[in-house]
Structure 1
């Protein structure tokens, strides 16, 4: 059985650290698998898993009797992977299909490993649209998120996986509105991700599916149009404007997309947005320092605070 490794991917300036809510620590956010899933297994454990997977080839009559206890669903590696996770990682499609067929509407399909990845997450990462389709039809939950807050659709958008994207959007129509509104732990929804990575066809498709074209990312309030200016992507700027993006939208700091053209090279983007931006919003907002009318403390004012005591002394 060949080993497949899926490397880390980072989002350049847009990737933020994941925060551990329990301990308040910042942890690096890794959205893809960084190990094969079998590296941590001992030889006897590996052989045991192979034997369990071989049992999936039995005929239907034997399967009905043997699957009553379903001990194979309880097998976990040190990484928290089930046999289904491993079958997807190693592209053992026949094994994965058999396990999915015997797990319809079973919570087993939503088992999360130590990276909180479900089999659906891994099927998208490993570019297996047929397995994605089988998982959805078998009752897995496409709203579940991994340790970085990404649904399977978030991952498909980040990778630009057209086949998995199509299967997911067609196979979870009821849950789709909530998924499109979901932001990962970097504050990005699906439309933000395809905008950042410049997948124009997916941008257009998401808008057609009901994604909010003016949704603000949670870190500083940039809309997809702000992101397009940041990335100096003229085609994306034009597409978003043609689809009704609000050129007067403001970030949390009060900046329009036009403001973000200052100091950037593409003058065509700047001119285009200048003409569309409301006149009263063309000037850069004043900084807090400029708005502040407070005078520095005088020596007399400073003396007002010299009566603090520390361990009985001034």
Structure 2
């Protein structure tokens, strides 16, 4: 698949697949499935069966569940594709497409969550705004990067591209850009495409100022470290606490990463910066871990 002149294979490379299998199982993002009682599902399916979706007669646009879901939200969640496509067709450039449920999810968010690239495409072409964020500050592209959904990712970066540059700079409420999320979850192919599309490879996440390269070191992912450096990541970029990526290798088991970064780090940055331990009786040795109990992407 070609994305703005960037050749992209929608299949994960071997490392992507390995990392994806290691991801923790998460609760579904959407409210629709969890909010419906078991006895309600057959009733809702019957409602879809008898629902009249036609121009000039649109009561379905007014129906909202107690969780804020529209019929379009529910059709997407339960993969009632024909109904969803018909509602989208009759809602060209209608604010209805951008309605958000109680978790501030639009139909576009839910289409990515349920991995329905055709629905994503139709929504974008019909005027759904890809800049809207859910209650965690995630755009639909953030979610695609977190899930590793390359098909939805490809559609999101091919349609309504006038918004793409700004979306790539958006941070969610955890301070992460799309590139940070793709890095945290180890999707190497996606990381490469994001950089080629204009994502700032040296952007700092807002909590502690780590770049994607810092995150790769924290995750002890040598393939990601090498890929980021080959793409132009700055090995001398410092966190808010003054740590270069090389500093984060101290006390870590992967000597390959440490050696790879040592050779590229400026000589002045090869020593640990002054720390809170400087005035203590015992200074930490280079073998002592700098951080304890840090978890990224469940690992």
Measured against the shorter chain, the TM-score band is 0.7 to 0.9
Which of 82, 105, 130 is the equivalent residue of 1:94?
A: 82
Is contact 1:30–1:148 with CA below 8 Å preserved after alignment? no
State the partner residue of 1:195.
183
Over the aligned positions, Cα root-mean-square deviation in angstroms equals: 2.5
Relative to 1, partners in 2 of residues 1:103 and 1:153: Cα closer, same or farther, differing over 3 Å?
same
The residue matched to 1:91 in structure 2 has which SS?
coil
Deviation of the 1:37 alpha carbon:
5.9
Q: Does 1:178 align with 2:175?
A: no
Is contact 1:84–1:96 with CA below 8 Å preserved after alignment? yes
Is contact 1:41–1:78 with CA below 8 Å preserved after alignment? no
State the partner residue of 2:52.
55
Is contact 1:154–1:193 with CA below 8 Å preserved after alignment? yes
Which of 142, 147, 150 is the equivalent residue of 1:159?
A: 147
Structure 2 residue runs without a partner (length 5+):
1-22, 281-299
Deviation of the 1:46 alpha carbon:
4.4
Which of 94, 97, 101 is the equivalent residue of 1:113?
A: 101
State the partner residue of 1:146.
134
Query: For 1:246-277, what per-residue CA distance to the aligned partner results, in whole angstroms no more than 9, with x for missing partners?
Result: 00000000000000000001101101111110
Work out the CA distance in 1 between the residues paired with 2:259 and 2:186: 21
Query: For 1:78-126, what per-residue CA distance to the aligned partner results, in whole angstroms no more than 9, with x for missing partners?
Result: 1100000000001000000000001000000000000000000000000
Work out the CA distance in 1 between the residues paired with 2:237 and 2:44: 58
Which of 7, 11, 30 is the equivalent residue of 1:33?
A: 30
Write out the 4+ residue segments of structure 1 that deviate beyond 6 Å after TM superposition: none
State the partner residue of 1:104.
92
Work out the CA distance in 2 between the residues paired with 1:189 and 1:273: 24
Is contact 1:110–1:118 with CA below 8 Å preserved after alignment? yes
Give TM-score, length-normalised by structure 2: 0.80
Query: For 1:141-180, what per-residue CA distance to the aligned partner results, in whole angstroms no more than 9, with x for missing partners?
Result: 0000000000000000000001000000001210001100
Is contact 1:37–1:81 with CA below 8 Å preserved after alignment? no
State the partner residue of 1:243.
231
Deviation of the 1:71 alpha carbon:
1.8
Relative to 1, partners in 2 of residues 1:38 and 1:186: Cα closer, same or farther, differing over 3 Å?
closer
State the partner residue of 1:255.
243
- Matched positions, count: 258
Deviation of the 1:72 alpha carbon:
1.2
Query: For 1:46-68, what per-residue CA distance to the aligned partner results, in whole angstroms no more than 9, with x for missing partners?
Result: 46981686212xxxxxx34x43x
Relative to 1, partners in 2 of residues 1:228 and 1:43: Cα closer, same or farther, differing over 3 Å?
closer
Give TM-score, length-normalised by structure 1: 0.77
Work out the CA distance in 2 between the residues paired with 1:206 and 1:43: 41
Work out the CA distance in 2 between the residues paired with 1:279 and 1:156: 39
Relative to 1, partners in 2 of residues 1:132 and 1:185: Cα closer, same or farther, differing over 3 Å?
same
State the partner residue of 1:298.
none
Query: Which is greater in Rg?
Result: 1
State the partner residue of 1:18.
none
The residue matched to 1:265 in structure 2 has which SS?
coil
The residue matched to 1:78 in structure 2 has which SS?
coil
Structure 1 residue runs without a partner (length 5+):
1-10, 13-28, 57-62, 293-314
1:6-25, aligned counterparts within 5 Å? Answer: none
Relative to 1, partners in 2 of residues 1:254 and 1:51: Cα closer, same or farther, differing over 3 Å?
closer
Work out the CA distance in 2 between the residues paired with 1:53 and 1:180: 41
Which of 57, 77, 80 is the equivalent residue of 2:65?
A: 77
Work out the CA distance in 1 between the residues paired with 2:134 and 2:41: 30
